[in-house]
A and B are shown apart, each in its own frame.
Chain A
Amino acid sequence: MATIEKSVSIERQVNTGFDVQRIREDFPVLRQTVNGKPLVYLDNAASSQVPQVVIDRGSIYLEDEHSNIHRGVHYLSQKATTAYEGAREKVKRFINARESRECIFVRGATEGINLVMHGYGRKFIGAGDEIIISAMEHHANIVPWQMLCEEKGARLRVIPMNDAGELLLDEYDALLNERTKFVAVTHVSNALGTVNPIKRMIDQAHKYGVPVLIDGAQGVPHMLVDVQDLDCDFYAFSGHKMFAPTGSGVVYGKAALLETMNPFQGGGDMIKSVTFEKTIYGDLPNKFEAGTPAIASQIGLGAAIDYLHTIDRKQAAAHEDELLRYATEKLSAIEGVRIIGTAREKLSVLSFVIDDIHPHDIGTILDQEGIAVRAGHHCAQPVMQRFNVPATARASFAFYNTKEEVDVLARTIERVVEIFS
């Protein structure tokens, strides 16, 4: 029996054709031990790890190019500017934007969403208007819209979900009406793993002429995203969840919309001319990039995109799917474990609770074994309320994770259950 199982799993690994061990060598962090045990890093939905080539690219900037961008006639500033704008080109191709000026560099998904709230929302949304979000949003895609509603007297409407963690699309259709002025939904839920049918949802909103923002923080690290095919109006994501350093991120916006919007912050770099009487704002993307940005991080994001081009992303996604399937099977088999989020379309996130054991205690015990998971509400308190749990433990996968790591996770969870029995 055991040998049959083994040969099946080897065959599967051959089938996906994905050499995980080779890939792991690209990520120095993974070589570490924690509490004397090999690090098992399963907190990728919070932040993924950074490959050596991205680290090296950041060092090159700091060692050879460090200077401010867009400002100097001198050699270094030109080099830095070229690298920074080169990263924007890479982002443009990565998400298939029409033009690179549609890719605004921001600190992360949160700042991207806030930029759209300020630049678009505060200009075009008013009293009595409605904004639709979903029941599975991260706080980053709830709070800015709530602030806007408060300020303008607009109304926040929420698309409900079923017990599997799937949005109720009929309810969404019913929420759309002539008062709807904006839709903001997540591509993939960070708390449940649900992949939303955003293309259909975008089409539906467009029938009412309503622009749509997609929170892509959990989308880009796992899927090929084509903003033109999706026809989304805005798409925001964070570099640190897609193998780049913290402080990097992008909000894509259709040029025609970005042109009509108010700037986000005021300051240097975002202007054409300033007098005390009047300021003329710069063109895209500068209009939205006031002040000195996180140059090293954004160049790192460009390098992370280059890195992703070196691996077969379809194979990587198949490998992640297999990890999720395997982990779901293993954990479901443990008495008392309940998976939160069982959508048919799901990726890379496994949220779970164990009867009578608080996720915090699970997290502490896993950490002692070198396993990094997240325990808490995952900045999605309404999701926790919907499922009537105070918090969950969450294992989230990247393509460098292995089945052996899932085995360690499952074994340690069995141990947790034992300790508390």
Chain B
Amino acid sequence: MSELSELYQQVILDHNKKPRNFRKLESANHSAEGFNPLCGDHLTVYLNLEDDAVKEISFEGSGCAISKAAASMMTQAVKGKSKEDAEQLFTSFHEMVTSDLDEENVVERLGNLKVFSGVREFPVRVKCATLPWHTMHAALNNEALVSTE
């Protein structure tokens, strides 16, 4: 079960159990909903964007452990970042879970989001990990709805 323990790392299990920033954001001025029709995952990402910087971010919804932990850790990683940096992080994250290339600068930039690198061994689960990011991207760009299929 070694690939499994790569996937379900303790950090991920912890964020699944106790997701951070898991609530509706009353002060949100941007939000978007994400669906994965295949498995029924569904979440809303709320953003408070000021001067092109993410002042506050939160999410709510239901999904598997991977998507929930990915959303939780994303909110922590993105909070306080500029819009541009947040988008850059999304690109790096996407690269990490979809390719075998462990480019050092990419991994460096991702910090503790590295725990999701195990996802690439489970191609059907990649969408679970990226759904929150796609949804955040949509919220940043004023798109209301994303669907990963």
Question: Could you list which residues of chain A lie within 8 angstroms of chain B, going by C-beta atoms?
Answer: 356-361, 364-365, 368, 375-377, 381, 384, 390-391, 419-420
Contact = CB atoms under 8 A, between A and B. Distances in A.
Interface string B112-130: 0000000000101100100
Given A358-B63, A361-B66, A390-B62, A368 B3 contact: yes
Nearest to A419: B8
25 contacts: A359-B39, A360-B39, A360-B66, A360-B128, A361-B8, A361-B65, A364-B122, A364-B125, A365-B4, A368-B3, A368-B4, A375-B39, A376-B39, A377-B40, A381-B40, A384-B40, A390-B42, A390-B62, A391-B39, A391-B40, A419-B4, A419-B8, A420-B13, A420-B16, A420-B17
Dominant SS among interface residues on chain A? helix
Interface string B3-17: 110011000010011
A420 B16 CA distance: 9
A319 B124 CA distance: 33
Contacts of B63: 358, 390
Contacts of A359: 39, 64
Contacts of B1: 368
A284 B7 CA distance: 55
Of the candidates B40, B68, B122, the one having the most CB atoms from chain A within 10 angstroms of its own CB is: B40
A368 B66 CA distance: 16
Interface in B55-86: 62-66, 68
Contacts of A368: 1, 3-4
A358 B41 CA distance: 10
Contacts of A361: 8, 64-66
Given A358-B63, A384-B40, A364 B13 contact: no
A364 B7 contact: yes
Contact of A358 (B3, B65, B122): B65
A390 B63 CA distance: 8
A408 to B, nearest CB: 14
Nearest to A369: B1
Nearest to A390: B40
Contacts of B38: 376
Of the candidates A357, A361, A365, A376, the one having the most CB atoms from chain B within 10 angstroms of its own CB is: A361
Given A360-B39, A361-B64, A377-B40, A419 B13 contact: yes
Nearest to A384: B40
A376 B8 CA distance: 20
Contact of B65 (A376, A384, A420): A420
A419 B16 CA distance: 12
A360 B3 contact: no
Nearest to A389: B40
Contacts of B68: 358
A368 B40 CA distance: 22
Nearest to A392: B40
A360 B128 CA distance: 9
Nearest to A365: B4
6 tightest Cβ-Cβ pairs between the two chains A and B? A358-B64, A360-B64, A390-B40, A391-B40, A360-B39, A361-B65
A390 B1 CA distance: 27
A383 to B, nearest CB: 12
A127 to B, nearest CB: 32
A384 B40 CA distance: 10
Nearest to B38: A376
Given A360-B64, A361-B65, A376 B40 contact: yes
Of the candidates A360, A365, A375, the one having the most CB atoms from chain B within 10 angstroms of its own CB is: A360
Contacts of B122: 364
Given A360-B41, A419-B13, 14 more contacts: A358-B62, A358-B68, A360-B66, A364-B125, A365-B8, A368-B1, A368-B4, A375-B39, A377-B39, A390-B40, A390-B41, A419-B8, A420-B13, A420-B65
